[in-house]
Amino acid sequence: MEQINLPDPPKRKVGRPSSTGLKRLQHCVYQIHYHIVFTTKYRRKVITPEILEALINQTSDIAKKWECEVIEMNGEKDHVHILLAAPPNLNLSSLIGNIKTMTSRSIRSHFAEHVNKFYWKPFFWNPSYCVLSTGGAPIDVIKRYIESQSKLA
């Protein structure tokens, strides 16, 4: 499979892991994980095991360029799930746009015969996506903790 040249993301200082698993930047400590879901255009069942493997490899490469890490990625014939660790200064929508654009171009190029059975226009991904923050305590536990903080007099 030929290598695609990816645009360089904005430069940031890379977070250093601490003994607690938290990462550090100059003025913050963080651990941020996102659960991201992409669906294929019209939910067509176009993703094969070979395409999924290519998507995982390409998404991991793109994430590294953005100083992120794909913790886990898998999918089915019409969608993929990505668990992504990211720094707090990340422009998430730009990263997602970059991943979707680059993987779509690559998949349509390398698997053209298969993809063209499903799409006659240059489509692969639905333009929408789902992103959820993950990790830590459940929302109700955090809410109770904040509510239990002492009130200012």
Q: Output the domain CATH number for residue 87.
A: 3.30.70.1290
Tokens matching residue 124: 């692969």
Q: Is residue 93 part of a domain?
A: yes
Structural domain range at position 68: 27-147
The number of domains in the chain is 1
In a domain, 87, yes or no: yes
Span 58-112, pLDDT tens digits: 999 999 999 999 999 999 999 999 999 999 999 999 999 999 999 999 999 999 9
Instruction: Give a yes or no: residue 152 inside a domain.
Output: no
Q: Is residue 140 part of a domain?
A: yes
- Residue 8 belongs to some domain of the structure: no
Specify if 22 maps to a domain: no
3-state DSSP helix/strand/coil % of the chain, to nearest 5:
35, 25, 40
pLDDT of residue 137: 78
Q: What is the pLDDT of residues 26-41, one digit of tens each?
A: 889 999 999 999 999 9
Domain annotation covers residue 33: yes
In a domain, 5, yes or no: no
pLDDT at position 113, please?
Answer: 97
